[in-house]
Structure 1
């Protein structure tokens, strides 16, 4: 008998249930080795299905959140402000414009915000704040502009209809009606000289959703308050609260943010909004949002359903990345302020930027100087904020037509213009080789000196304008393109009332805010005073 037949017989016997222990033990040994492998394979398959299913669900939910976000054009107006160059560490400041719209174009907003006769009307931006995050992400500043501040609104094009709105002078909240949030952004850039990276806008319903998702925001009033209509004073937000501290959410949170009469003015309302914003930041920082999936989901839903954003940040990932940049700033390095203003000499119901003080605030933003004393001095930041100029060389000075405008009265019209300023500066330019420089007979009141050039002239026009600015010492950050000029134009602002060389601008030190900015540190809780007629 061959060895092979013996093997074969052994296998057959073993297979038929014989008593060959070795053979049977082999089968049992096979089961012990095979079953774990099969179990592992099944476990791996199930795990793969779960992972893929979860990933698919996650992807679908991510797409759902992205689908919630409404996007719009970043800039729909005339603005030649340049983005700051990175500092030595490759960092740039981050500037975000936050807008609160009074839109009544939904049932929810009408219910929350008032009159049905405004349904279908273009909304106004009654809340406007610039959030500035320093290049090193160690401090942040918020500057509000009251809604009734009279400013120059540039030419804007409505991105939805294509309608073009000419340049005008009006209160700043109307800019939203003249080309959407992108026009409001352009208005801010022209007013401040600050490049704004993004905008975000929320309406009445969005405020309620966000307040509820956060779980409420703590606010405080010194007296019982009821913001209601009074004889001769219609309107009112409806806010009714007992004196002391209370967590507001839903409709009451919106009422807090809209209260104006009971806090005496738009400036008081801005202060109350700053207190709310500080409290909201403290609340979010105190919550374990990223370890609480339920809270994170509700916040993500509320945020994406509530916000309209500029198109370049119109995804969940980009909004998350922005949030992470803000998250690094300590609470006590947030500073809330309002742009210094004075009553408008043309209309007692309006405001205008306060000369010197307002531009000092914007200078600190432009130069990335911290609003609190915990920051570094501004010398290094100022240098990093100036863009490095590239492009074609300027045309020969003698061949450039330059118009010089006397704007020394300032936009607030509280100062008398300085006589013959345009002629004096035109003469200085002629001496510098710009033989075609001429003084305009028409004044153009401006609080800030600037050099403008035709937008249609592109890079060459900018190079020519920069050569004019350099000849009289005007910083390159005050050179911009506009649509309504035909030659390079130097407008002498109220910040240059004497001399033929633009006065050197000193960079403020950290924390050197004017008192009129009404600063509030993020760590301060504060308590709002109530105007006497609205106490109960």
Structure 2
């Protein structure tokens, strides 16, 4: 799906692919939060409390215990003065939760439960000067491991089930355990954003400008756009991120292409918006970021999020790669895919 959407800066001008300003979602969030605290002056205590209280968290480490891949030994040299940041793997999920009226309206109904609509493994290299973002198609058939349940007990292991069923069955804990089982890569952190949070973030930034190279008409995502350049508000951007039937071959693989390009366009918008000179908008962005997040307990405070964002200051645009886990159509179901081996295994090995 590469080439179906073009990024623009805040003024609507096309940004050259492979160059120009670009930053990562985690970097942008961390630096925005740090700036909010710096600008808040006498109200810093209240601002910190308000934003910190926004964040929901799940204790994934306690839930999974030792039944998971080992943490790798850092491979970079250390010094007492400036110890380098270790490599990190972060599972980032976009949830299609219908919890609350706002999510129900954006999701197009009052369905209960939630699934992982978008799944990305973000690998930050040692020293934080390079990164790889790997998208996992939600329609991938996997073996879902037995997972601890919030209600007590454990779910049964299940073979040939869709990847996004892990979140439906056991929430963030089961999503992390399933990814670790698939990849044998330890997930150091977990970050989740829901429908409403993503839309609020786009609106807080004043929308995002994209160019589509073909008409989009998708009843499921409620998005209709003629080919051309459009400035999208939050609800429309969410519709673009959810579009699959209205473009290309209608598969989840096409949607992943749109999602990866939309993330880049959103990050360009953040880079082009003068947040530091507009404290009100800066706070709105930070409030949208924290208000939409569920994280593991290792990232559930402003101090931890800001620290992560600041550690990414040396990450350049050219050092970030977006890829999709290699997949092939399942032999027994043309509407589903399975990991394409040995290529998929080689990708995960490269992250380890």
- Band of TM-score, shorter chain: 0.7 to 0.9
Higher CA-based Rg = 1
Query: In the alignment, does 2:79 pair up with 1:82?
Result: no
* 2:158 counterpart residue number: 168
Shift of 1:199: 0.8
Query: Residues 448-501 of structure 1, C-alpha deviation per residue, up to 9 Å, x if partnerless?
Result: xxxxxxxxxxxxxxxxxxxxxxxxxxxxxxxxxxxxxxxxxxxxxxxxxxxxxx
Shift of 1:295: 2.7
* 2:258 counterpart residue number: 272
Shift of 1:55: 6.3
CA distance in 1, matches of 2:321, 2:209: 18
Query: In the alignment, does 2:45 pair up with 1:59?
Result: yes
* 2:19 counterpart residue number: none
More moved, 318-327 vs 194-203 = 318-327
Shift of 1:200: 0.9
Question: Do the aligned partners of residues 288 and 171 (structure 1) sit closer, same or farther apart at CA in structure 2, a change above 3 Å counting?
Answer: same
CA distance in 2, matches of 1:217, 1:55: 30
Match of 2:202 among 204, 211, 220: 211
Query: Residues 494-534 of structure 1, C-alpha deviation per residue, up to 9 Å, x if partnerless?
Result: xxxxxxxxxxxxxxxxxxxxxxxxxxxxxxxxxxxxxxxxx
Shift of 1:109: 1.2
Query: In the alignment, does 2:117 pair up with 1:140?
Result: no
> What are structure 2's unaligned runs of at least 5 residues?
1-39, 79-84
Query: Residues 241-268 of structure 1, C-alpha deviation per residue, up to 9 Å, x if partnerless?
Result: 2322323221101100000112321000
* 1:222 counterpart residue number: 213
Shift of 1:327: 4.2
Contact 1:132 1:140 in 2 (8 A): yes
* 1:112 counterpart residue number: 106
* 1:300 counterpart residue number: 286
Question: Do the aligned partners of residues 112 and 200 (structure 1) sit closer, same or farther apart at CA in structure 2, a change above 3 Å counting?
Answer: same
> What are structure 1's unaligned runs of at least 5 residues?
1-53, 229-235, 367-536
Q: Which has the higher contact order (CA 8 A, sep 6+)?
A: 2
CA distance in 2, matches of 1:253, 1:313: 26
Question: Do the aligned partners of residues 295 and 258 (structure 1) sit closer, same or farther apart at CA in structure 2, a change above 3 Å counting?
Answer: same
**Root mean square deviation of aligned Cα:** 1.9
Query: Residues 107-166 of structure 1, C-alpha deviation per residue, up to 9 Å, x if partnerless?
Result: 1111111222x2xx32111210111111122221111111111112222112x3224112
Question: Do the aligned partners of residues 295 and 210 (structure 1) sit closer, same or farther apart at CA in structure 2, a change above 3 Å counting?
Answer: same
Query: Residues 412-437 of structure 1, C-alpha deviation per residue, up to 9 Å, x if partnerless?
Result: xxxxxxxxxxxxxxxxxxxxxxxxxx
* 2:298 counterpart residue number: 312
* 1:256 counterpart residue number: 240
Query: In the alignment, does 2:142 pair up with 1:151?
Result: yes
TM-score (normalizing by structure 1): 0.54
Contact 1:77 1:154 in 2 (8 A): no
Query: In the alignment, does 2:349 pair up with 1:363?
Result: yes
SS in 1 for 2:164: helix
SS in 2 for 1:302: helix
CA distance in 2, matches of 1:246, 1:326: 31
Contact 1:282 1:331 in 2 (8 A): no
* 2:94 counterpart residue number: 100
TM-score (normalizing by structure 2): 0.81
CA distance in 2, matches of 1:330, 1:88: 19
SS in 1 for 2:92: strand
CA distance in 1, matches of 2:91, 2:135: 10
CA distance in 2, matches of 1:270, 1:130: 13
Contact 2:76 2:126 in 1 (8 A): no
CA distance in 2, matches of 1:289, 1:182: 35
- 1:367-516 aligned at under 5 Å gives the runs none
SS in 2 for 1:179: helix
CA distance in 2, matches of 1:227, 1:88: 48
